[in-house]
Amino acid sequence: MKTIDQFNFENKKALIRVDFNVPLDADFNVTDTNRIEAAKPTIIKVLEDGGSAVLMSHLGRPKGQRNPDMSLKHICSKVSEIIGVQVRFVEDCVGEAAEKAVADLRPGDVLLLENLRFHAEEEKGDEGFAQQLSKLGDIYVNDAFGTAHRAHASTTIVAQFFSDKKCFGYLLAKEIDAIEKVMRTGEKPVLAILGGAKVSSKITIIENILDKVDHLIIGGGMTYTFVKAQGGQVGDSICEDDKMDLALDILKQAKAKGVEVHIPVDVVAANAFSNEAETKIVDVAEIPDGWQGLDAGPKTLENFKTVILNSKTILWNGPVGVFEMESFAKGTIAIGNFIEEATKNGAFSLVGGGDSVAAVKQFGFDDKVSYVSTGGGAMLESLEGKTLPGIAAILPE
């Protein structure tokens, strides 16, 4: 794996694909700077070597049209503040203006190109567009894990114009390493905690990781499909009736592979999908009609705690309850606490996938686990066993 550490950028221009697709408020202020901060080490390495950095990113979904609300000029001052260098901005990402702005760069300079997706060719993976981008740097650095699952011009196609002068930035290298630890090199026992609403959205992940894990915790809305498939009463809980055979098949596959599956034994049930609903603790297989399971119960959490604290490698993908409502957040917070404790005791813990990342940030666990992935879709496709095009483009053929 060729990383940025294998290059010296002295008097070189690094064309860096970053993921600055950050949220903005109505006044165009950046409301979450995590992605910019995550790219900082890669940019600083280039500058400290005596090189200059040309940053390219998308923002939002302008669909090939120039949309002033999605211009990257809005984030330029915030990027300057975080990196500690006055970042220049150019109002296009290819063509004469961009090429001139790059030609004017001196060692230590940083240039931010305009939104790649103002050109429809970016998402189409257009080779001519990628070639135009390739003129803007001597070495190509991909540091955008969040878009590594897309075969776009800037994430994948552009790499072919750099022969052996291409590498992973620090962030992307860390993402690859974290997934490798879970999927291949992690210390045993390996545990995957899969939550979320639907079995159907996690089926390819479950099937792929059964060969890699020793324990599998099933939580969240998925629980009820498994429970009903085994003859339990789930009341009004979310359930995919057409996936019950699949749930039974997963349990059968897990048994054959020696994987221990842990399903909730009790739940916090509510008489409405509301924070103000009446609640009670019930056996997971005895949820009355008119009630629905919305969080893991106390016995379940005790069981899960034992499994988590005995694991050496932990993947957490998906909450175990409707954590967005305070009344049903206790289970997800408890899982975070258990993983924090296991991590302190030497386990490697990786959190990935939109909802679980949102949960760890909301409850302050992001610096208490080993690694929080920056890419939702890219992370999920990696766990499904797919080789991401943005990663394959950098690897030697």
Domain match, 167 and 193 both: no
- 109, 126 Cβ separation under 8 angstroms: no
Q: Is residue 215 part of a domain?
A: yes
Q: Is residue 77 part of a domain?
A: yes
Pairwise CA distance, residues 239 & 223, whole Å: 8
Nearest to 90 by CA among 107, 104, 108, 106: 104
Q: Is residue 304 part of a domain?
A: yes
- 137, 116 Cβ separation under 8 angstroms: no
Does the annotation count 198 as an active-site position? yes
Distances (CA, A) of 47 to 17, 38, 146, 265: 16, 16, 24, 55
Q: In terms of residue numbers, what domain contains 161?
A: 4-172
Which helix or strand (DSSP H or E) is residue 390 part of?
helix 389-392
Neighbouring-strand partners of residue 218: 194
Domain match, 31 and 164 both: yes
End-to-end CA distance of the chain: 11
Q: Residue 112 belongs to a domain with what CATH number?
A: 3.40.50.1260
Pairwise CA distance, residues 388 & 129, whole Å: 21
Domain edge (last residue) among 113, 138, 172: 172
Domain edge (last residue) among 172, 202, 232: 172
**Based on the structure, what is the number of domains in the chain?**
2
Domain match, 152 and 245 both: no
The amino acid sitting at 186 is G
| Catalytic-labelled residue, pool 198, 305, 361, 386 | 198
Pairwise CA distance, residues 144 & 197, whole Å: 28
Q: Is residue 54 part of a domain?
A: yes
Nearest to 188 by CA among 240, 253, 259, 131: 259
Q: Is residue 97 part of a domain?
A: yes
Domain match, 114 and 193 both: no
Gyration radius from the chain CA atoms: 23
Domain match, 190 and 159 both: no
User: Kind of pairing, strands 348-351 and 371-372?
Assistant: parallel
Domain match, 283 and 367 both: yes
| Catalytic-labelled residue, pool 354, 368, 385, 386 | 354
| Catalytic-labelled residue, pool 12, 13, 17, 35 | 35
Distances (CA, A) of 176 to 153, 277, 368: 21, 43, 20
Residue 33 CB-density burial (10 A; 0-12 exposed, 13-18 middle, 19+ buried): middle
Domain match, 100 and 238 both: no
Residue spans of alpha helices (H) in 84-229: 96-103, 120-124, 127-134, 170-180, 203-209, 222-229
Does the annotation count 377 as an active-site position? yes
Pairwise CA distance, residues 30 & 308, whole Å: 36
Q: Is residue 179 part of a domain?
A: no
Pairwise CA distance, residues 357 & 374, whole Å: 8
Domain match, 311 and 196 both: yes
User: Kind of pairing, strands 266-270 and 279-283?
Assistant: antiparallel
Q: Is residue 178 part of a domain?
A: no
Domain edge (last residue) among 103, 137, 172: 172
Domain match, 294 and 341 both: yes
pLDDT at 354: 63
pLDDT at 255: 97
Domain match, 221 and 163 both: no
% helix, strand, coil for the chain, step of 5: 40, 20, 40
Cα-to-chain-centroid distance, residue 331: 22
Q: Angle, to 10 degrees, between the axis of helix 330-344 and the axis of helix 354-362? A: 80
- 328, 364 Cβ separation under 8 angstroms: no
Domain match, 45 and 91 both: yes
Token reading at 279: 């609640």
Which helix or strand (DSSP H or E) is residue 251 part of?
helix 244-256
Domain match, 229 and 375 both: yes
Residue with tokens 């004017």: 104
pLDDT at 397: 66
**pLDDT of the chain along its 397 residues, tens only?**
899 999 999 999 999 999 999 999 999 999 989 899 999 999 999 999 999 999 999 999 999 999 999 999 999 999 999 999 999 999 999 999 999 999 999 999 999 999 999 999 999 999 999 999 999 999 999 999 888 888 999 999 999 999 999 999 999 999 989 988 888 888 999 999 999 888 888 888 898 899 999 999 999 999 999 999 999 999 999 999 999 999 999 999 999 999 999 999 999 999 999 999 999 999 999 999 999 999 999 999 999 999 999 999 999 998 999 999 999 999 999 999 999 999 999 999 999 876 888 888 899 998 999 999 877 778 878 888 888 899 999 987 6
Q: Is residue 391 part of a domain?
A: no
| Catalytic-labelled residue, pool 60, 64, 377, 385 | 377
